[in-house]
Chain A
Amino acid sequence: MSAALLIDIVLWGSVIAVGFIAYQKGQAVLTSSLREGTWDFIGIVPRIALGVVGSGYIAAVIPQEIITGWLGPNSGWLGVATAVVAGAATPGGPVVGFSIGAVALKAGGGSPQVLAYVIAWALFAFQRLLLWEIPFMPARFVWFRAAVSIPFPFLAAAIAMAIGKP
């Protein structure tokens, strides 16, 4: 997959670039940040193992028909609200939310509702919060960020209704 390869190149290129800057600031800066980054990595691996290996099971038992049924075109603001809840309840990972969104669109789901669903999923899928964001960031920041994000799927749906797109 060429997109993935490109992302890897950009990613490691960035690591090497900032590593070089650290090296220019001194050998000690380089080694201490290498040590710090490696320890972060070691600490994070068990959580990611659980999250990635486990998310397949969670996705397999979440009934997709129920979620898509919530997103009907005439569901209005109640539909948007349920879309936000459904987005938060959908497992993380790069694919699940988009797949359900695509199914909902094909099944005649309303665009604003599907938009709200995809944005809510991107902003606060519970599994991504618990497994990626909390391990790396202060928990207080994560809850704060999720809380202030709550209005925005609704705002996006409102914009979509106003301009009649997508």
Chain B
Amino acid sequence: MQDQPIKAPADDAAEAEPRRKRRKPIGWSMISIGVLVAVSAVLVYRRDGIGGVLDILMHDVTLFGGILPRVLAGCLLGAFIAEILPHDKVSRALGPSSGLKGLLIGAAFGAILPGGPFTAYPVASALLTVGADFGATIAMVVSWTLIGYGRAVAWELPIMGVDFTLWRIVISLPLPILAGALGRFVYVRMYPRGDDE
């Protein structure tokens, strides 16, 4: 980002001691996905037998093994960013009153962020922790999903073709800013007292 955290005064580090809430190990979202997976696995078993179930399992376990190191990288990236970004500067650059510039910074950041969901969400969460508002964070997340080059280069170009992919990205360009602006607009009306997470 455009700030230079290295030059920040030493007490910034002590002040910026954000502690994210420890999440519950098992929530309803995991249970519902678990049920869905179990039902799907039974359907696959009834259709393709045990061979079909094992084929998918082997393929997905391999995929999981490949993703794990990146998940670790994403978690570390998020944790470092939460620690090193100075709270006051982030609030100014990406906070509720950062205006269009904040949305643009968020969108640009999402577009250049390397990696997949394993980086985007931990980093977005870190930004929220250090003072970005919902609007700028929405711009970042939406920009990562729609404009980020990672998925487009690795998967969309080969599968959908150049023409579709490029037009899809061009048409998507304004969407992160608009989504962030809409988010901000709705947020201040839903939580007028600045109810902070």
A residues whose Cβ falls under 8 Å from a Cβ of B: 1, 3-4, 7-8, 10-12, 14-15, 18-19, 21-22, 24-26, 28-29, 32-34, 36-41, 43-58, 60-61, 94-95, 98-99, 101-102, 105, 111, 114-115, 118-119, 122-123, 127-128, 130-138, 140-141, 144-145, 148-149, 151-152, 155-156, 159-160, 163, 165-166
Contacts and interface: CB of A to CB of B under 8 A. Distances in A.
Interface in B101-126: 114-119, 121-122, 124-125
Nearest to A131: B33
A61 B32 contact: no
A53 B60 contact: yes
Interface of B: 5-6, 8, 10, 12-13, 20-23, 25, 27, 29-30, 32-34, 36-37, 40-41, 43-44, 47, 52-53, 56-57, 59-61, 63-64, 67-84, 114-119, 121-122, 124-125, 128, 134, 137-138, 141-142, 145-146, 150-151, 153-156, 159-161, 163-164, 166-168, 171-172, 175, 178-179, 182-183, 186-187, 197
A119 to B, nearest CB: 7
Interface of chain B, helix or strand or loop or mixed? helix
B75 A18 contact: no
A98 B44 contact: no
B13 A25 contact: yes
Contacts of B63: 52
B145 A122 contact: yes
Given A48-B64, A49-B64, A122-B145, A58 B37 contact: yes
B154 A11 contact: no
Closest 8 CB pairs of A and B: A54-B37, A37-B79, A166-B167, A136-B121, A57-B40, A37-B76, A10-B114, A18-B80
A15 B40 contact: no
- Most chain A CB neighbours (cut-off 10 Å) among B75, B142, B156: B75
